[in-house]
Amino acid sequence: AAPVVVAIDGPAGSGKSTVSRAVAARLGLSFLDTGAMYRAMTWWMLANEVDVQDADAVAIACGKPVIVSGTDAAGPTITVDGQDVSGPIRSQEVTSQVSAVAAVPQVRARLVELQRGCAEVAERGIVAEGRDMGSVVFPEATAKIFLTASEAARAERRAAELRAKGVDAATITAMAADLARRDAADSSRETAPLVQAADAVLVDTSDLTLEQVIDRIAGLVEEKA
Ligand code: C5P
């Protein structure tokens, strides 16, 4: 049988990462967080003083960093030139700049190639999450899921996460605005915008528990595999 590829796309804060990792663990598949790769590229650009608003500069530089993604659902890691950047890629600075870097076609071409390579070497198959998994990277995926949640549910989940980390209310408000800006940028860019693939199944997580979402997706995959 062809290796299983589960493509999971959706906006920031839809619960994608948590859900994708849990589905991979449940089904015994590898896991690929493609957002982490765009973040790693952005982290490298910032560390090397590349002006991330200058698409030409980003296009020229993006071939330089060696980005390696771990695909273990139990603890995915990501390295740039051998350095583990799993922590730094979650910084507010990287988060606020990543959409600009991700909009550059040369960046996407390079990372898409790496993403397909990860799927090829995954022994039992892979759950890949991002914005264009079903629409561009894995058009032949076994199952395609588009995760959404109402604006309110997404904002509330993000806020709860941040509160749990001890982040203050003003910062939470600022980050919510940033999230909306990032979703708008990701959805409106020319190359591989965030879009539901024609053959993707829409799962609205607003009123579902994590367990219900995992059951639903695992069920869809088992139906199709
Ligand atoms: O998933 P995460 O929020 O970590 O993704 C960070 C950013 O990476 C997104 O806002 C988007 O700009 C970019 N991205 C993308 N295509 C993907 C995954 C992420 O453009 N497949």
Digitized pLDDT (tens) for each residue of the chain, 225 residues in all:
578 999 999 998 888 999 999 999 999 999 999 999 999 999 999 999 999 999 999 999 999 999 999 999 998 899 999 999 999 999 989 999 999 999 999 999 999 999 999 999 998 999 999 999 999 999 999 999 999 998 888 888 888 888 998 989 888 888 888 888 888 999 999 999 999 999 999 999 999 999 999 999 999 999 988
In this prediction the ipTM stands at 0.98
In this prediction, residue 194 carries a pLDDT of 92
Question: Both tokens of residue 59?
Answer: 């296009």
pTM above 0.90, yes or no: yes
Amino acid at 73: A
Work out which ligand 1 atom sits closest to the CA atom of 129. 21
Q: Is 52 in the pocket of ligand 1 (CB under 6 A)?
A: no
The one-letter amino acid at 110: R
Residue nearest to atom 11 of ligand 1 (CA): 99
Residue nearest to atom 3 of ligand 1 (CA): 12
Ligand 1 centroid, distance to 163 Cα (angstroms): 23
**Cα(34) to centroid of ligand 1, in Å?**
7
Distance between CA atoms of residues 164 and 84, nearest Å: 25
Count of Cβ atoms closer than 10 Å to residue 191 Cβ? 14
Pairing outcome for strands 4-9 and 30-33: unpaired
Cα 10 to middle of ligand 1, angstroms: 9
- Is residue 15 lining ligand 1, measured as CB closer than 6 Å? no
Please say whether the beta carbons of 31 and 21 come within 8 A.
Answer: yes
CA neighbours closer than 13 Å in the CB half-sphere of residue 117: 10
Which atom of ligand 1 approaches the CA of 42 most closely?
A: 8
Verify whether ligand 1 is closer than 6 Å to residue 98 (CB atom): yes
How far is residue 177's CA from residue 169's CA, in Å, rounded to a whole number?
Answer: 13
